[in-house]
Amino acid sequence: MHDSSGIKDKVVVITGASSGIGEATALLLAERRAKVVLGARGPERLETLAARIAASGGEVAYARTDVQRREDVSNLVGLAIERYGKLDVLINNAGVAPISLLDELRVDDWEEMIDVNLKGVLYGIAAALPVFRRQNFGHFVNVISTAGLQIVPTMAVYAGTKNAVRTITETLRQEAGAKLRVTGISPGFVQTNLTTSMSDPGVKAQIAERMEKMAIPPAAIARAIAFAIEQPAEVDVNEIVIRPTAQT
């Protein structure tokens, strides 16, 4: 059996928890006896996931959370403290990718990516950092993207938000001091429903086809996140880039 000592009884908040990487991470960490506190926009999927975890003996709490609302993110962190008395890990995972060429001027889509992918992470930091300072322990895990490492057309704003998060994550790590851990995870093509947020049908079809061909399951990313979390307190895994073997 996997030694779950580095994960057991840790209280972990996950945003964007009802599907994709968030859902896979919630399931894996709960199975390894973490207490998971889940937030997502869609209440039905969230409830179903929480019920599934509870049914298999896991500890779970959840709240409808839109990371575009600072108060929602605060409330999710508050729920963790109220229910379990502490917070060990915040996984900033919520993300959208309505990608398109800049010429299409889909300004609403640009703003949504900034609000969810960038400001949502900042709201997570604002909610958890004071808690981590008070406790003198804590771990931020920010889900970024290889889109920020390999720049391609249609991804300007998406990759822009992800690289902003990359920069903020590294600064956070430097400012965090000797007790707080900071990890950035950059997944490549993963089989998720990120395409549902894509408003451009051409781009959506193209990405869906690439996903079909080579995407790895979200559980692969969940294992990478678990690896970072389970390290002893003095070991901080700063960056993980994880792609399908077939992705160039």
3-state helix, strand, coil in the chain (%, to 5): 50, 15, 35
Please give the full DSSP string across 62-104, using - where no structure is assigned.
EEE--TTSHHHHHHHHHHHHHHHS---EEEE---------GGG
Q: What angle do CA 188, 189, 195 make, to 5 degrees?
A: 125
For residue 84, indicate whether it is catalytic.
no
What is the distance, to the nearest Å, from the Cα of residue 230 to the centroid of all Cα atoms in its chain? 17
Q: For the purposes of burial, counting CB atoms within 10 Å of the CB of 1, is it exposed (0-12), middle (13-18) or buried (19 or more)?
A: exposed
Please tell me which residue in 62, 84, 123, 158 is annotated as part of the active site: 158
CA proximity to 96, closest of 209, 194, 203: 194
CA end-to-end span of the chain: 34
- The token duo for 150 is 């390999």
Which CB contacts under 8 angstroms, 24+ apart, belong to 231-238?
231/6, 232/6, 233/137, 233/179, 233/181, 236/173, 236/181, 236/182, 236/183, 237/181, 237/183, 238/170, 238/173, 238/182, 238/183, 238/184
Q: For the purposes of burial, counting CB atoms within 10 Å of the CB of 3, is it exposed (0-12), middle (13-18) or buried (19 or more)?
A: exposed
Catalytic residues: 158
